[in-house]
Chains A and B, each alone.
Chain A
Amino acid sequence: MTDTSIQTEIDEIVEEFDFLGDWEERYKYLIDMGKALPGLPDTDKTDLNKVKGCVSQVWLVTGHEGDRLTFQADSDAHIVRGLAALLLRIYSGRTPDEILSVDAREVLKQIGLSEHLSPQRSNGLASMIGRIRGAAGA
């Protein structure tokens, strides 16, 4: 459960990335965020939890805690795992209304990772966001 508001969290993410210089630093940071992600037990890496549209494997598990939605994710690729970690920071532990109030794509644009946003990039990011927002009733 998270105490900071979704907007505060986004502001923090943007600030962290602003502090970083070139793409190499931003990617290192993103990859490290992915490495810090707890990941999923093998029992959760099911076909049902698999995110489609990704050339590497990504799993997303949706849960509930009270009126809030929680998400856990894992991937066998570091960059995708980092992107998943970023999405979880934004969306996990939020109410459906909060989730629907924010488009993570805007955040990725702000932090200079917009190249991952095109659905043709086959990193599954668009599918991940779709799943999360879908769980929130979008």
Chain B
Amino acid sequence: MTAQSSISPALNVEAIRAEFPILQREINGNPLVYLDNAASAQKPEFVIESVAGVYRASYANVHRGLHTLANETTEEFEKSREDVRRFLNAGSTEEIVFTRGSTEAINLVAHSFCQMCEPGDEIVLSQMEHHSNIVPWRLASEGRGLAIKWVRVTERGELDYEHLAELVNERTRLIAITHMSNVLGTVNNVTRIKQIADDRNIALLLDGSQSAVHLPVDVQALDCDFFVFTGHKLYGPSGIGALYAKRDWLERLPPYMGGGEMIADVYETHVTWADLPHKFEAGTPAIADAIGLGAAIRWMERHDRAAVMAHERALMDRAMAGLADIEGLRVIGTAQDKGAIISFTLDGAHPHDLAQLLDKYGVAVRAGHHCAQPLMRAMGVSATARASFAIYNTPEEADAFVDALKKAASFLI
């Protein structure tokens, strides 16, 4: 881990919960049990106040301003970029591009990267990708003669590394893979992926939408070329995320979007680009949300990441033990290295029924294909229900989830 402000050795979950106003809510007469964290997490007062504080006290457009508010806001905005850099342990803030989230970050890389590819080049994706790490590659590769290759997923929901080794060849330009699956919870072994890709000069993009929340991330140690994550799953605002890219790539890649902010000079005949990272940040950014993302990161840094991980995994283990009693229940994704996400199906019950009935008991879970249709097909299901845990969940909530699920099952089967 990198520099952290004040590390607390053990997690005081009750104190943490008290920082999240929304957790006081009741849903259908029951205390809210929020287990839809993999879709989006709730926000602590510290983040809410940080965003509101921008608008209340110090707001103007960022960069090139010559008045006090513009300077203050720019300073806060750029401080947030430093927060992101520290959080990912990137070498420089020039390697941190603010985006609307992971989706925009991947679209940026896909669009600009594919422009540098030759017909016949290949991009490798895995079957466990979120649609946001599939569709941008389709769009960007179409009409360029690029091929997309798919790494299989094993029955347990792990990446088939042997298949990956078969797929990569001298035409492979990039591997884009999730660091942690939003459906299976599987944490992919980046070292192994790097070993397979190595000495072939293949770029690696990691989708860190889940991993940035649940695992310590060090992009230099991971040695990935691109790492994307989003703020809203990280207890931060929605509409803001970031792309880390190695400096060399940001220098070589053409810009994604044109507009103000991303240029050095505009002539009628040509345009020159702004310095990094601004070359990739067209238009007025989500200023307050970016500052809120910095706050979310500083809030995260108050807690010992290993303790958070242990807490979340203990919750998952507890819930998994409870689910084992339910006949006909199948957990989708039983990887050895797995974060606190449980996807499951129940014979004779549709996941949508389960989610709707759980909601009546105040338990919020997600049901559907989770934006991962190729994975659903690979696992032989059309949809799953998914419970995903976060820093503020408690063992009692894990039990409430299992109890509510048992009741729901008795309705349906």
Given contacts A28-B411, A55-B368, contact A76 B350 (CB under 8 A): yes
Residues of A within 8 A of B306 (CB): none
Min Cβ gap A31→B in Å is 6
A77–B352 touching, CB < 8 Å? yes
Check if B360 sits within 8 Å of A27, measured CB to CB.
yes
The answer to whether A23 and B412 touch across the interface, beta carbons within 8 angstroms, is no
Question: Whole-angstrom distance from the CB of A45 to the nearest CB of chain B?
Answer: 13
Taking a contact as CB atoms under 8 Å apart, the answer to whether B411 and A56 are in contact is: no
CB <8 Å contact, A56 and B360: no
A27-B411, A28-B411, A31-B412 are contacts. A79–B360 as well, Cβ < 8 Å? no
* Docked-complex contact A78 and B350, CB < 8 angstroms: yes
Complex CA gap A31/B352 in Å reads 13
Other-chain residue from A24, A55, A76, A78 in contact with B412 (beta carbon distance below 8 A): A78
B28 contact set on A, CB distance < 8 A: 23
B368: chain A residues at CB < 8 Å are 55
Taking residues whose C-beta sits less than 8 angstroms from the other chain, chain A's interface range is 10 to 19
Residues in A99-130 with C-beta less than 8 Å from chain B:
123
Q: Which of B28, B383, B407 has the most CB of A within 10 A?
A: B383
**Contacts of B379-413 to chain A: CB distance below 8 A:** 382-383, 407, 411-412
| Contact residues in B for A78 (Cβ distance below 8 Å) | 349-350, 353, 411-412
Q: A31 to B356, alpha carbons, bound, how many Å?
A: 12
A residues near B349, Cβ cutoff 8 Å: 78
* A123 to B412 Cα, complex, angstroms: 17
Q: What is the minimal beta-carbon distance from A27 to any residue of chain B, in angstroms?
A: 6
Q: Mask for A68-83, Cβ within 8 A of B = 1, else 0?
A: 0000000011111000
Specify which of A23, A28, A56, A123 lies most central, judged by the most chain B CB atoms within 10 Å of its CB.
A56
| Interface membership of B357, Cβ < 8 A | yes
Which B residues lie within 8 Å of A56 (CB)?
350, 352, 383
Bound-state CA distance A31–B411 (Å) is 8
Give the distance to chain A from B115, nearest Cβ to Cβ, in Å. Answer: 36
Task: Give 3 closest A-B pairs by Cβ, nearest first.
Answer: A77-B350, A56-B352, A77-B352
